[in-house]
Structure 1
Amino acid sequence: MTYPQIILKKNKEQSLKRMHPWVFSGAIEQLPSNIEEGDLVEVLDCNHNFLAIGHYQPDSISVRVLSFNNIRINQAFWDKKIEAAYKKRINLGLIDNTSTNVFRLIHGEGDELPGLIADYYNGVVVLQCHSAGMFLQRNAIAQAIIKTIPTIKAIYNKSFSTLPPLFKKKESDAFLWKNYSSPIEVIENNLRFNIDFIEGQKTGFFIDQRENRALLGTFCKNKKVANLFGYTGGFAIYAAHSGATQVINVDSSAKALEMATVNYRLNSLTNIENICSDVNDFFKTCNENYDVVILDPPAFAKHHKHREKALLAYKNLNIKGLRLMPQGGILFTFSCSQAISAHDLRQAIFVAATNEKRSVSILFQLHQPADHPISIFHPEGEYLKGFVLKVE
């Protein structure tokens, strides 16, 4: 089968020859007249030599590559890719793990499936398609998941908010296979959480912070802890469970804090206080110090054009975080902005520490866990950056 063919400009094939999985619109010389959003396409160089097959998108990223080999994209392709992703998680010890039953099953480019996210919540798989092409293949993907993991309870498609806004074939979020009530209870490192995969942010839980939450616990015994941008209480629960004397969980969403309260009860924790407030408003009124502070904000820069503004925001956030801390305090500070590198975040922290005349040393550099793999050919996949800092 021959797919519609996209022809690149001269010398614009080099990134594909280096196995980068994106084709940008500026590299394209010729588009077929009958092409539609989400179509499978072949990408050819200016001499019409084959380079890759992928999904077309009328956007700055025009093609997300599925294969650098001239193959058919059929059910066997999806079966093979999903099975490979699942085997990675077996090797990571995440399958049939009695202490953790929540993990990322498919992580976009890191699993050679750009535009597709799938999270596993105690038997329920939640799909998020970030490209029209993946959305159009959602049923084939679901069948591959069922074949690979026959014990799953349900598959839920949660792609409406992540698909391109002008995509005409968008549908409301719905179950693709069977049904299951939300929220669902999961365990992470033997701690219990209720996850609302239908109404919650992203797919319901920030799975990418699992190992960083566990690390936080090692710093919290007999400490006062402030978890800012706390959502449903993940970091707060690890802190309280690890022996913190006092924990506050600050978030602007009353609904998220209601779920956080449920999670505290699931773990028999009584020393966490929810504060429903915008974090900037909290800084203005807070007159206490905290031994351990967690700054885990939403992405300040989803595109490179917002990078400079985001760097200023990270600097100011860390200035305010440092002001909460006594000498000897521990700061966990993060960025999940793809456009902000670890070096950028470190520089923002440096400026903040200089501004506050605080001596700061790096104890740990943090990143996403192994079930969120980063392709060596796609450095943009390293989106989560963080530092654990000793503040004097």
Structure 2
Amino acid sequence: HDRKTEAVQRFHPWIFSGAIAQRDRELAEGQLVEVRNRSGAFLALGYFGTGSLAVKVLSFAPVADLGSLLQEKLAQAWHRRQGWGVATAQTTAWRWVNAEGDGLPGLIVDWYDGVAVVQCHGAGPHGLLDHWVAGLRAVAGDRLRAIYDQSGKVMTGQASGYVWGQAQPGCIQENGLKFWVDWETGQKTGFFLDQRDNRAICGRYAAGRRVLNAFGYTGGFSVYAAAGGAIAVDTVDSSAPALQIAAQNVQVNHPDLPHRAIAADVFAFLGEVGDPYDLVVLDPPAFAKNLRARTAAITAYRRLNRLGLARVKPGGLLLTFSCSQVVERAAFEGAVTAAALDSDRRVQLLARLGAPADHPTSLFHPEGTYLKGLVLAVGE
């Protein structure tokens, strides 16, 4: 439809099925397709999808050589991370490719000090795995030790494993702090790289405070709080294996810090009557993976933040996050505001937080934004 070509011309990387006037009937999920307007002029090259999202766009210009295009995009993403001050001697783990944000829909590549961990979200990007392997090797050269395909986590019927080289899970550095990362069995690709800047912000607020890190996973916020001068830290998570790594991460960086790793349901833990904290971090997993779960998720954020606020001392701070893409910032902030009203606490907004520079989004694709955070000062 001519009207429907407008979104493509505005560089939106998604084309919905309703915009397609006609297509080859035998197209398979993930197949590479060309999109043309009514008069036959080229609009885009992308992966075909059988659902309502019909095409994810790889290129808005005609492509002579697919391999060269993909390698060029990988190289561009790599060099930008160096130029943006993300990849440094002190920070050896960062996101190399952030899907649509780097013009490569469905592809996530995280760099862990010489190991590239690849996640393909869908048959389209997974069908190009050989191209990704060749491109990653060409760009990183001898800095690359191994490539681990972790698509099994996000694709049914797909196994995860090393597709080039071999490596053992090990230590990375982030802002000079050391973290053990297990990209083979850990959550996401092994570490929540998207919280790097927010962990550093947490550290800046932590001096002299008792800190609670709820949904603490492997202790990222806990280590930064300790580095920032916290007097004691509690890390709470439902996963005992993650907490073992959290305890180890705190021990390696700050052996003298009073640190408790507490295996518990966070909602239950917050609901218990206990000493309040000077700083509480709430960093839950996504409460909604799709729009159907959105309303329930907003209710859960309200409840979680009400419980969290109850554990913050007057004069203390709350750092609260949502990584649910379908819960937009306004809805999340609405839930937190409702929680503050429920709690009858006076709350000041100090900062709005998001993802760091190695998780860029396209200005033309606001749907790529998912991480939202608030720094709140909590009064009486």
TM-score (norm 2): 0.96
**Residue number among 224, 244, 249 corresponding to 1:238 in the alignment:** 224
Residue 268 of structure 1: aligned partner: 254
Structure 2: which 5+ runs fail to align?
none
User: Residues 240 and 271 of structure 1 are in contact (CA less than 8 Å); yes or no, is this contact kept in structure 2?
Assistant: no
After the TM superposition, which of the residue ranges 65-74 and 315-324 deviates more from structure 2? Answer: 65-74
**Residue number among 133, 145, 160 corresponding to 1:153 in the alignment:** 145
SS in 2 for 1:114: coil
Deviations 1:209-241 (A, max 9, x none): 001101111111111111000000000111122
User: RMSD over aligned Cα, in angstroms?
Assistant: 1.4
SS in 2 for 1:110: helix
User: Residues 23 and 62 of structure 1 are in contact (CA less than 8 Å); yes or no, is this contact kept in structure 2?
Assistant: yes
Provide the C-alpha distance between the structure 2 equivalents of 1:18 and 1:302, rounded to a whole number of angstroms: 27
User: Residues 45 and 59 of structure 2 are in contact (CA less than 8 Å); yes or no, is this contact kept in structure 1?
Assistant: yes
SS in 2 for 1:41: strand
Provide the C-alpha distance between the structure 2 equivalents of 1:368 and 1:315, rounded to a whole number of angstroms: 22
Aligned length: 377
Residue 105 of structure 2: aligned partner: 114
Structure 1: which 5+ runs fail to align?
1-8
Residue 136 of structure 1: aligned partner: 127
Shift of residue 171, structure 1, vs aligned partner: 3.2
Could you tell me which amino acid in structure 1 is paired with residue 366 of structure 2? P
Could you tell me which amino acid in structure 2 is paired with residue 216 of structure 1? C
Residue 194 of structure 1: aligned partner: 180
Provide the C-alpha distance between the structure 2 equivalents of 1:262 and 1:112, rounded to a whole number of angstroms: 37
Matched, 1:297 2:284: yes
SS in 2 for 1:149: helix
Residue 198 of structure 2: aligned partner: 212
Residue 20 of structure 1: aligned partner: 12
Deviations 1:233-257 (A, max 9, x none): 0001111222211111000011111
TM-score (norm 1): 0.93
Provide the C-alpha distance between the structure 2 equivalents of 1:259 and 1:138, rounded to a whole number of angstroms: 31
Matched, 1:86 2:78: yes
Provide the C-alpha distance between the structure 2 equivalents of 1:61 and 1:161, rounded to a whole number of angstroms: 21
Alignment of 1:1-392 (within 5 A): 9=1, 11-72=3-64, 74-95=66-87, 97-150=88-141, 151-163=143-155, 165=156, 170-182=157-169, 184-269=170-255, 270-392=257-379
User: Residues 139 and 176 of structure 1 are in contact (CA less than 8 Å); yes or no, is this contact kept in structure 2?
Assistant: no
Could you tell me which amino acid in structure 2 is paired with residue 68 of structure 1? F
Provide the C-alpha distance between the structure 1 equivalents of 2:224 and 2:124, rounded to a whole number of angstroms: 39
Shift of residue 10, structure 1, vs aligned partner: 5.5
Could you tell me which amino acid in structure 2 is paired with residue 391 of structure 1? V
- Percent sequence identity over matched residues? 42
After the TM superposition, which of the residue ranges 227-236 and 40-49 deviates more from structure 2? Answer: 40-49
Residue 5 of structure 1: aligned partner: none
After the TM superposition, which of the residue ranges 46-55 and 293-302 deviates more from structure 2? Answer: 46-55
User: Residues 236 and 247 of structure 1 are in contact (CA less than 8 Å); yes or no, is this contact kept in structure 2?
Assistant: yes
User: Residues 226 and 254 of structure 2 are in contact (CA less than 8 Å); yes or no, is this contact kept in structure 1?
Assistant: no
Deviations 1:331-381 (A, max 9, x none): 000011111222211111111111111111111110000000010110011
Shift of residue 176, structure 1, vs aligned partner: 1.4
After the TM superposition, which of the residue ranges 187-196 and 21-30 deviates more from structure 2? Answer: 21-30
Provide the C-alpha distance between the structure 2 equivalents of 1:19 and 1:222, rounded to a whole number of angstroms: 48
SS in 1 for 2:97: strand
